[in-house]
Amino acid sequence: MIDTYTFTQSKDIISVQPSDNIFKELGNNTYDFKDLISELIDNSIAAGPKDKQIDVKIIVYVDEQNNPTDFVITDNASGIPQDLLGKAISPAGIQTKNSLNEHGLGMKQAVAALGELKYLATKVAGEKKARIITVFKFGSLKTYNADFNCESGTEICVTNIKSIVLTNATAYTRSLVPYLGARYRRLLKPENKKLNLTVSIVKKQTDDVLYTWSIAEIKPVYFHPSTRENRPVILKHLLKGQQWKAELTFGYAPKDKAEYEELGLEQPNKFHPYNVSLSRQGLDVILHDRAILFHQLSELEIIMSKHSDYNSIRGEINLIVGFSTAITKNSIIYDSNFKECIEEITQILNGQKEGPNKNKQNYLKTKTYPEEIPEKLLRDRLIEWLVNNPMSKKQNVNKEFVVWKGLKAILIYWLIKKLGRSKSIKLVP
């Protein structure tokens, strides 16, 4: 390594010019279609007044052969003021802490990955017409004006569409629409709806609407092992480090049709984001009210590898303070804050550290809950003890021990605990 104290200043100056190639390069990212759309939806949400429900409409135009021709997203949020438009277009021109506008890249990444910008039209309250630009580049840009059917808002139109844009209605119904519902669930609560999001496929030549989906809230369903209600076992347990704050919600999904029926719910189909399966086990990671990552368990090394035993594990890690996403918002920066947070969650879930109510228990071993041990097995264990225990052996034990169901479970649990055989059995609070 050269000693920096030995550097002497030279008279040569290097000039570094911004290259417009960056606007195209930003499209070479790891996003899927839902992630690209989400970047644009995030911007609309971030620009929406807090007290007002915001409308976001996405239209994919298709030709006669069902090939995508244009992608348009329109919102009625606050628009981009003239003096901010240049910065908004410049990559990393704006960074905002603790906000959905994090890196100053999302819109450019999304547009370049979807195709080529046709126009960006934006209008702030009080302006008569929308201000329009037709290209993302450095330097001076021509602007245009046109009518815009809203007091304020933004519309982005992309053309020369790339193959990442889906036009198959089944793919929307099965995957895109439910995952958008799950990602933005906190803003889609029917009792406090903040986002009105629709996605449509429209025939370009005739303007016929072929399909429209109104995105609805999709959230994990829980089945509490003790109360048998749709309720997690751990609800919003606060976790804190020196520089970070998060909340843990944890529970188990209903394991079969009967348990869904007990909750009065239909068992989801295999495409549903929270269908019980190997690929959907785990917790969602939420930042700024948006699910950044779905189904995280082995991925965060909370367990070493996926196993069907963990299929019903559900939950949310809500990152409140001290965390940031990578420049693509499909991952969280694995810094010391996130590491500490995940380590603490892992220790609580595997029973190494106290969780809620100063309770230490292995939440990951769902198989050890009394409700999940078949009744026959519990009864046999009890009989074995009654007949064999050295302190007060019983000669005659009647197998048909009929008492009220709840009382029976408690009694069996208590007896087994007394026996010292309950080391792996714990009741869920």
Q: Write the CB contacts of 88 (distance below 8 Å, at least 6 apart in sequence).
A: 80, 94, 107
120 forms bridges with which residues in the sheet?
133, 156
Sign of the CA dihedral running 28, 31, 37, 42: negative
Q: Using CA atoms, how far apart are residues 179 and 172, in angstroms rounded to an integer?
A: 10
- Can you tell me the distance from the alpha carbon of 26 to that of 113, in angstroms, rounded to the nearest whole number? 7
Minimum Å gap between C-beta 87 and Mg ion is 13
**Torsion angles phi and psi, residue 70, rounded to 5:** -145, 155
Q: Is 230 in the site for ligand ATP (CB under 6 A)?
A: no
What is the 3-state secondary structure of 98-153? CCCCCCCCHHHHHHHHHCEEEEEEEECCCCCCEEEECCCCCCCCCCEEECCCCCCE
Work out how close the CB of 285 gets to ligand ATP at its nearest, in angstroms, rounded to a whole number: 16
Q: Which does 68 bind (CB under 5 to 8 A by kind): Mg ion, ligand ATP, none?
A: none
Residues 53-112 that bind Mg ion (CB under 5 A): 106
316 lines the binding site for ligand ATP (CB under 6 A):
no
Site for ligand ATP in 80-119 (CB under 6 A): 80, 84, 88, 94, 101-108
Minimum gap (Å) between residue 181 Cβ and ligand ATP: 20
From the list Mg ion, ligand ATP, none, pick the one residue 154 interacts with, judged by a Cβ distance below 5 to 8 Å according to partner type.
ligand ATP
User: With CB under 6 A as the contact rule, which of the stretches 63-71, 76-84, 339-347, 358-366 interacts with ligand ATP?
Assistant: 76-84
Of 99 and 279, nearer to ligand ATP (C-beta) is 99
Binding residue for Mg ion, selected from 43, 281, 337, 361, defined by CB under 5 A = 43
Q: Which of residues 27-56 bind ligand ATP (CB under 6 A)?
A: 39, 43-44, 47
332 interacts with ligand ATP by CB under 6 A: no
193 binds, among Mg ion, ligand ATP, none (CB under 5 to 8 A by kind): none
Tell me which residues touch ligand ATP (CB under 6 A): 39, 43-44, 47, 75, 77, 79-80, 84, 88, 94, 101-108, 154
